[in-house]
Amino acid sequence: MKKIVFVFLLGIIVSTQAQIRERTSGNLLFSQDSTTFKEEVKIKLSGKTTYTDYKIISFSKDTSIVDTTLTYKKDLRFNYLRKDLFELLPFHNQGQTFNKLGYSFNNASLFPEIGVTAKQYNYYKISDVYYYEVPTPTSEIMYKTGLEQGQMLDAFLTLNTAPQFNFSIAYKGLRSLGKYRHSLASHGNFRTSFNYHNKRKSYYLRGHFSSFDLLNEENGGLPLESIFYFESDDPNYIDRARLDVNFTDAESMFEGKRYVIDQVFSLFPKNPKTVKKAQKKPKKKPVIAQKGNKFAGKGKKLKAAFSEKTRQQKTAQQKDTTTVLVATKAKDSVLQKTPVLKSKFDIKIGHTFTYETQHYRFKQTNVNSIFGEAFDSQISDHTSYQKMNNQVYLQLDIPVVGTLRGKINYFNYNYKYKSILYLDTQTIPDKLKGNAFAFGVDWKTIVGKLQLTADANSIIAGDITGSNFKASVQYKKDSVFYFKGYTEFTSKTPDFNKLLYQSDYKAYNWYRNFNNEKIMTVGVKADATNWGAVEASYNNIENYTYFNSKPVPVQAVGTLNYIKVKASKAFHFGKFTSENTVMYQKVTNGSSFFRVPDWVTQNTVYYSNYIFKGKPMYLQTGVTLKYFSAYKANAFNPLLNEFVLQDATEIGNYPILDLFINTQIRRTRLYFKIENFSSSFTGRNYYAAPNYPYRDLTVRFGLVWNWFI
- Comparing 487 with 1, which gets the higher pLDDT? 487
CB 92 within 8 A of CB 80: no
- Comparing 606 with 331, which gets the higher pLDDT? 606
The reported pLDDT for the residue numbered 49 is: 78
Lowest average pLDDT, out of 76-90, 321-335, 615-629, 648-662, goes to: 321-335
* DSSP per-residue codes, 59-92: TT--EEE------HHHHHT-SSS-S--TTEEE-S
Radius of gyration from C-alpha coordinates of the chain: 27
CB 232 within 8 A of CB 248: no
Residue 45 confidence class, pLDDT cut points 50, 70, 90: low
Closest C-alpha among 104, 80, 236 to residue 702: 80
The reported pLDDT for the residue numbered 43 is: 58
Q: Is the pLDDT of residue 388 over 50?
A: yes
First CA to last CA across the chain, in angstroms? 27
pLDDT > 90: percent of the chain: 76
CA triple 138-141-143, angle to 5 deg: 175
The reported pLDDT for the residue numbered 425 is: 86
The reported pLDDT for the residue numbered 29 is: 33
The reported pLDDT for the residue numbered 698 is: 93
Tens digit of each residue's pLDDT (9 = 90 or more) over 374-383? 999 999 999 9
Tell me the residue type at 639: L
The reported pLDDT for the residue numbered 479 is: 78
The reported pLDDT for the residue numbered 245 is: 97
Q: Is the pLDDT of residue 497 over 70?
A: yes
Domains and CATH numbers, the chain: 51-266+345-708 (2.40.170.20), 274-338 (no CATH)
Q: Is the pLDDT of residue 574 over 60?
A: yes
Q: Is the pLDDT of residue 138 over 50?
A: yes
Alpha helices in 169-238, H assignment, sequence order: 224-231
The reported pLDDT for the residue numbered 42 is: 59
- Cα separation, 61 vs 66, whole angstroms: 15
Q: Is the pLDDT of residue 57 over 50?
A: yes
pTM: 0.84
- Cα separation, 87 vs 104, whole angstroms: 10
- Cα separation, 203 vs 515, whole angstroms: 43
The helix/strand/coil state of 330 is: helix
Lowest average pLDDT, out of 58-62, 242-246, 586-590, goes to: 58-62
Q: Is the pLDDT of residue 592 over 70?
A: yes
CB 668 within 8 A of CB 74: no
Number of neighbouring beta carbons within 10 Å of residue 480: 12
Q: Which helix (H) or strand (E) holds 9?
A: helix 2-16
CA triple 397-400-401, angle to 5 deg: 60
The reported pLDDT for the residue numbered 708 is: 84
Lowest average pLDDT, out of 4-18, 430-444, 485-499, 628-642, goes to: 4-18
Lowest average pLDDT, out of 50-64, 203-217, 306-320, 341-355, goes to: 306-320
Residue 530 confidence class, pLDDT cut points 50, 70, 90: confident
Closest C-alpha among 364, 358, 644 to residue 504: 364
Kindly give, in sequence order, each residue whose CB lies less than 8 Å from that of residue 565, ignoring residues fewer than 6 positions away.
534, 535, 536, 583, 584, 585
Tens digit of each residue's pLDDT (9 = 90 or more) over 615-652? 999 999 999 999 999 999 999 999 999 999 999 999 99
* Secondary structure in 3-state letters for 103-147: CCCCCCCCCCCCCCHHHCCCCCCHHHCCEEECCCCEEEEEEEECC
Mean pLDDT of 381-394: 97
CB 563 within 8 A of CB 598: no
Q: Is the pLDDT of residue 331 over 70?
A: no
The reported pLDDT for the residue numbered 390 is: 97
CB 308 within 8 A of CB 283: no
pLDDT > 70: percent of the chain: 83
The reported pLDDT for the residue numbered 273 is: 53
Residue 18 confidence class, pLDDT cut points 50, 70, 90: very low
Mean pLDDT of the chain: 85
The reported pLDDT for the residue numbered 279 is: 45
Closest C-alpha among 687, 696, 558 to residue 634: 687
**DSSP conformational letter for 494:** P
CB 519 within 8 A of CB 541: yes
- Cα separation, 458 vs 380, whole angstroms: 38
Q: Is the pLDDT of residue 11 over 60?
A: no
Residue 228: which region, alpha, beta or left (left: phi > 0; alpha: psi -120 to 50)? Answer: alpha
The reported pLDDT for the residue numbered 506 is: 95
The reported pLDDT for the residue numbered 41 is: 52
The reported pLDDT for the residue numbered 46 is: 64
Lowest average pLDDT, out of 230-239, 337-346, 644-653, goes to: 337-346
Lowest average pLDDT, out of 177-186, 324-333, 447-456, 654-663, goes to: 324-333
Q: Is the pLDDT of residue 294 over 80?
A: no
